[in-house]
A = this chain, B = another copy of it.
Amino acid sequence: MDKWYSLSGDQSDTVISTRIRLARNIDDIAFPWRLDFQGKTKVNELVKNAVFEEFPEQFGYISMTDLSHLQAVSLAERHVISPEFTSCEEGTGLLISSDESVSIMICEEDHIRLQVMKSGLALSEAYKTADSIDNSLDKSLHYAFDERIGYMTADPTNLGTAMRASVFLHLPALTACGQINAISNTVSKLGLSIGGAYGSRKKPAGDIYQISNRITLGITEDTATANLESIVRQLINQERSAAEREIKNPALEDKIYRSLGVLENARMLNTDEFMELISYVRLGAAVGIIDIPIETINALITDMQPATVSVTNEGIDTVAARDIRRAELVRKALVQNR
């Protein structure tokens, strides 16, 4: 089955993907940090049974300790699990749909971290899916919920909706012209958080940003996603204007084509260089000067992350071998799609 991130989505020139994450805990069971292995195992069983009953044959279950560290990091690179979940502690488990668009981390910070991912901008669609799965599970699991403070969560900053909605944006033009810093400040003041989706949050690899709601208390899910969507749509317009303006600079056009030339020809590509070059190529595709489908580029950005290259290809036991294989895969994908 095709992975969700290889599908086309709305506003895909600028928006890579949308994610809704709900934190839930089962009533009358302590938060994971207070549970021993047996307690966590019980939570795993409860969640697994509920999911398998409600959604037969749609999910696979993995005990996180059965994964190698590299396999876990690869899942984090694909945003299927959180970076914190890669430590593969005993008693943690993962339910995952075959297209990887729905995943449930069991005994992460909370008993349940349900994630729904969609290509492009799809906040209400993703929320609808998450909400429907959530409602089905609530029937048998009985969530810890308080009329006044909403869903109970291990971290009090998540109380209320316990929802975190994120949009992953590619903002190369706003980054190139330096406007991104002012935008980040404004976005923060509006109760949202913004940072790099890959690499460090200070210097976002590939000019890819994750923008999320921060407020969960005293607000409905619909209002929170609507707020986020409204800001995201402004960012999309700003990026498009900046791209239209910046692309008139012959040096940028030159850089875009050179990046394509290197990606189509290099025999070794490390992650940093790949992310830098693919960002230029994606901008070229977004403004229509390079004829490569955005979906191909999105899939590459996900598939070419270091741990993912290592676990999805055989015989990659050194960084050098990984860089050679990455170059090979990138070449094939881009040349095929030209």
Q: Residues on A close to B: CB < 8 A?
A: 250-251, 253-254, 257-258, 260-268, 320, 324, 327
* Closest chain B CB from A249 CB (angstroms): 11
Distance in angstroms between the alpha carbons of A320 and B263 in the assembled complex? 25
Residues of B within 8 A of A262 (CB): 258, 261-262
Distance in angstroms between the alpha carbons of A253 and B268 in the assembled complex? 9
B254 and A258 within 8 A (CB):
no
Can you offer 9 A-B residue contacts whose CB atoms are under 8 A?
A: A250-B267, A254-B266, A254-B268, A254-B327, A257-B267, A258-B262, A261-B262, A261-B264, A264-B265
Known A-B contacts: A260-B265, A261-B266. Give 7 more (CB < 8 A).
A251-B268, A254-B327, A257-B265, A257-B266, A261-B262, A261-B265, A262-B262
B250 and A324 within 8 A (CB):
yes
Q: Give the nearest-CB partner of A269 in chain B.
A: B254
A258 and B250 within 8 A (CB):
no
Distance in angstroms between the alpha carbons of A126 and B250 in the assembled complex? 45
* Closest chain B CB from A292 CB (angstroms): 13
Residues of B within 8 A of A268 (CB): 250-251, 254
Distance in angstroms between the alpha carbons of A251 and B327 in the assembled complex? 12
B266 and A258 within 8 A (CB):
yes
Residues of B within 8 A of A253 (CB): 267
Distance in angstroms between the alpha carbons of A327 and B265 in the assembled complex? 18
Residues of B within 8 A of A320 (CB): 250
Distance in angstroms between the alpha carbons of A263 and B327 in the assembled complex? 18
* Closest chain B CB from A54 CB (angstroms): 51
Distance in angstroms between the alpha carbons of A263 and B260 in the assembled complex? 11
* Closest chain B CB from A267 CB (angstroms): 4
* Closest chain B CB from A276 CB (angstroms): 14
Residues of B within 8 A of A264 (CB): 261, 265
Q: Give the nearest-CB partner of A252 in chain B.
A: B267
* Closest chain B CB from A181 CB (angstroms): 28
Distance in angstroms between the alpha carbons of A258 and B260 in the assembled complex? 10
* Closest chain B CB from A319 CB (angstroms): 13
Distance in angstroms between the alpha carbons of A265 and B324 in the assembled complex? 22
Q: Which of A250, A260, A265, A324 gathers most chain B CB within 10 Å?
A: A265
Q: Which of A266, A267, A327 gathers most chain B CB within 10 Å?
A: A267
Residues of B within 8 A of A327 (CB): 254
Residues of B within 8 A of A260 (CB): 261, 265
